[in-house]
Amino acid sequence: MHQSMCRIQRGPFVYYTCRRLPVRHAFTTKFGGVSTGHCESLNLGFNRGDTEENVRENYRRLAEALGVPDARWTLTKQIHETGVSVVEEEQAGMGLHQPMAWQSDAIVTALPDTPLIGFYADCVVTLLYDPATHTAGVCHSGWRGMAAGILPKTVAVMEQKLGTKRDSLIAVLGPSIRQECFETDADVPEAMERQLGALVQPYIMEKGPKFHVDLQGIGVKLLQDAGLAPENVIDSGICTMCHADEFWSHRATHGLRGVQGGVICL
Ligand SMILES: [Zn+2]
């Protein structure tokens, strides 16, 4: 775990934070909610076989624990592509208190008191915050989104639409499946190399007939190449599959699971 990361236990909640982010934020774990069965207990996804009532109650409790307004939860819609949406006042509450009207794996905002949330159960959720302009974002990327460049695209949208400064922007890559555990066939590294070129080569390890891609390493490299200062790009260093006791890992559960959230709120 990166030295700036903290494991917080508050009542039934367990979540992770980063000392570098001076705004309300969290990477949630399984713990703190009311869901049961394979979604026990803090499932934040409506498409995991949980009841809508339980999921809504989980959001309500999480909002209370983090001190953010439940009425303004704003959700990504994760389709493994590169859509980035700006959350304006009319979009506050999207996905929970008003119907989802975007297909955006990343959402960004300058609005205060508007908790943004992206989802993970092995994928990388990155929280972004710029103290110079007080702007924030959340970006979901599995290997497809990472290969398609959603992280640098999120930075570009923040700069163009919100005035975010690249040289003060802080990014924290959350708990996610790491290289040791992320075993794939050749299709994954080949697809990533087709889209990102030779820069991915140092992040691909060959083990017999299988491959292990360092998604977080690639994410850090892409963010640094996008103009973020090396000291402002933080890889949390936590593997969801190694810590399947605390996190739902898509691989460890074979898909029968709830889902965690990465949250940031100005
Ligand atoms: Zn692992």
**3-state SS class at 46:** coil
Average pLDDT across the chain, whole number:
98
Task: Identify the pLDDT of residue 225.
Answer: 98
Q: 8 pLDDT band (50/70/90 cuts)?
A: very high
Task: Identify the pLDDT of residue 110.
Answer: 98
Output phi, psi for 137, to 5 deg: -160, 165
Calculate what percentage of the chain has a pLDDT beyond 70.
Answer: 100
Task: Identify the pLDDT of residue 184.
Answer: 98
Q: Note whether 265 and 122 are within 8 A (CB).
A: no
Q: Which residues surround ligand 1, an ion (CB under 5 A)?
A: 178, 181, 239, 241-242
Q: Determine the distance separating the centroid of ligand 1 and the alpha carbon of 157, expressed in angstroms.
A: 32
Q: Determine the distance separating the centroid of ligand 1 and the alpha carbon of 243, expressed in angstroms.
A: 7
Range 11-31 average pLDDT:
98
Beta bridge partners of 87: 109
With vertex at residue 165, the alpha carbon angle to CA 6 and CA 7, rounded to the nearest 5 degrees, is: 5
Q: 150 pLDDT band (50/70/90 cuts)?
A: very high
Domain encompassing residue 228: 5-265
Task: Identify the pLDDT of residue 229.
Answer: 98
Q: Determine the distance separating the centroid of ligand 1 and the alpha carbon of 38, expressed in angstroms.
A: 21
Task: Identify the pLDDT of residue 133.
Answer: 98
Task: Identify the pLDDT of residue 231.
Answer: 98
Task: Identify the pLDDT of residue 77.
Answer: 98
The alpha-carbon radius of gyration of the chain (Å, integer) is: 17
Question: How many structural domains are present in the chain?
Answer: 1
Give the span between the Cα atoms of 213 and 14, in whole angstroms.
28
Q: Note whether 108 and 86 are within 8 A (CB).
A: yes
Q: What is the CATH number of the domain that holds 9?
A: 3.60.140.10
Task: Identify the pLDDT of residue 257.
Answer: 97
> To the nearest 10°, the Cα dihedral for 164, 200, 176, 25?
-10
C-alpha to C-alpha distances, 209 to 65, 185, 191, 205, 260, nearest whole angstrom: 46, 7, 17, 11, 32
End-to-end CA gap in the chain = 25
Range 178-207 average pLDDT:
97
Locate 116 and state its tokens.
């943004």
